[in-house]
Structure 1
Amino acid sequence: MIRKPLGPDELAEQCCQMRKTIIQTIGNANMGHIGGDLSVIDILGTLYFNVLQVNPEDPIAPDRDRFILSKGHCAVALYTAMAYAGYFPVEEMSTFVQPQSRLNGHPCNEKLPGVETSTGPLGHGLPVGVGAAIGAKIQKKPWQVYVVVGDGEIQEGSNWEAAMTAAYKKLDNLTLIIDRNRLQQGDRTDDVTSLEPLTERFKSFGWDSLEVDGHDYGALIEALKAPRVESKPRCLVANTFKGKGVSFIQDRVEWHHKVPSPEQVEEALNELERGV
């Protein structure tokens, strides 16, 4: 990290601005996954502006921390965090999904430096993260691996294979963050496949597992920077709201990938400006 870490109050201001950019980007492109972008942006903001040891001016520095957004359909949130962190100009967000843009509908590591691995098909990010954490252990490198997944994505069996492997390999350099917004495409997660008790399930797999308010910047910082339990990977079940910050989007299943009209974009921006 080449900047001074932002504290909770500064993160609140930063993430409010990033929410505005997310809404404008999706509205302009007429494409995106606004609900999940708004649920995860506080997590991404905390990572990029307080936790991750990365250098946007040298995005492939050998000893950088590795971050993987497994829920790749929320690419706008990732691009927004990266842009504000200095990986590319914020103005480039206006090119999202345009021809020849580096900002694909799903993140592509061959197009955009700083994207660790291409994601989109769900259930792949944690297995890749486990491999990266094993690689760091083999090479005796100090960098950490962070993976963010969606809670609907946890229904993918590949995550549980990776969870078993991470515990078996004692990957205390790996942190998994679950964006627990309780909604997925078309329904509530627990009406599709019950995930609870999610925190206890990861504990039973041998992880250091805890719950946190995914919109509380102080709590996120404390949990992400807490001393590691030796030989255990860490799982944070971050309780969030899909569409957080915009009243007519928040906790509404239809906003998984619904696009706001120009009038709704304006309404959402006004809400954020007023702090509603």
Structure 2
Amino acid sequence: MTQGILYCVATPIGNLEDMTGRAKRILAEVDKVYAEDTRVTRNLFTHFGVQNTLASLHDHNEADRVASIRAELEQGMQLALVSDAGTPLISDPGYKLVHALGQEGFRIVPVPGASALVAALSVAGLPTDRFVFEGFLPAKPSARRKLLEGLQNEPRTLVFYESSHRIADMLADVAETFSAGRQVVVLRELTKLYETIYRGSAAELVKQIVTDTNMSRGEFVVVVEGKVQDESQGQLEAINADKVLAILLEELPVKQAAAIAARLTGLPKNQLYKQALAQG
């Protein structure tokens, strides 16, 4: 018997017109659909006229579902996995299942579509060549601030999800931890009727959320500028690296000197290797 397939199907994050034709077809054709909340997915099915068997797969039962889903795939069944909105596994259930099945060689097929993460990055206007996705921050203030402190020197653009009852505190923590001038983009209710994008420094948005009651309603993606290294600091690091390389090259081959210099300065090894060649 041919082994089955698990399709990871993206669904709209708000605007139902973002549902792809392929996603509708797959959800109608598979033997069963596993959903984070069957009630939410049933409403989606009703809107698009999809009729299929639904079963739940959420944070509390996912580990227990793996064995039965494995058995269904071994029988040749075609299955789909959806979350309440957006792309499965992106701050949603499914990791344990997909990890286990992937390790065992089962075929897992992505059916891409809406994603709040990608949608936010596409309009935030901050660098997108490199970014870090942190999902939801811890609910406890102390844990949230500790995690942010660990990210305060991160040079890549940072992306977070946040809820309405924590957005104000989260912005205040960003302003305090990263600096009041750090640029932030808050994206509220993406693709929905009241979609709104707020741009400004962390301090400006902290002030705005106090007076704008709509700014703390709905679901949020928060995009934060990475730490920008000032020019003088970069020049200082280059000078220090030159000194370190000069000393090491007196005793060591170029490749070894560059590797040790990278460990001492934190600068890229390839960059230091080129500097060492130039000095030699």
Higher relative contact order by CA 8 Å / sep ≥ 6: 1 or 2?
Answer: 1
Bin for the TM-score computed over the shorter chain: 0.3 to 0.5
TM-score where L is the length of structure 2 = 0.32
- Higher Cα Rg, which structure: 2
**Structure with the higher strand share, 1 or 2:** 2
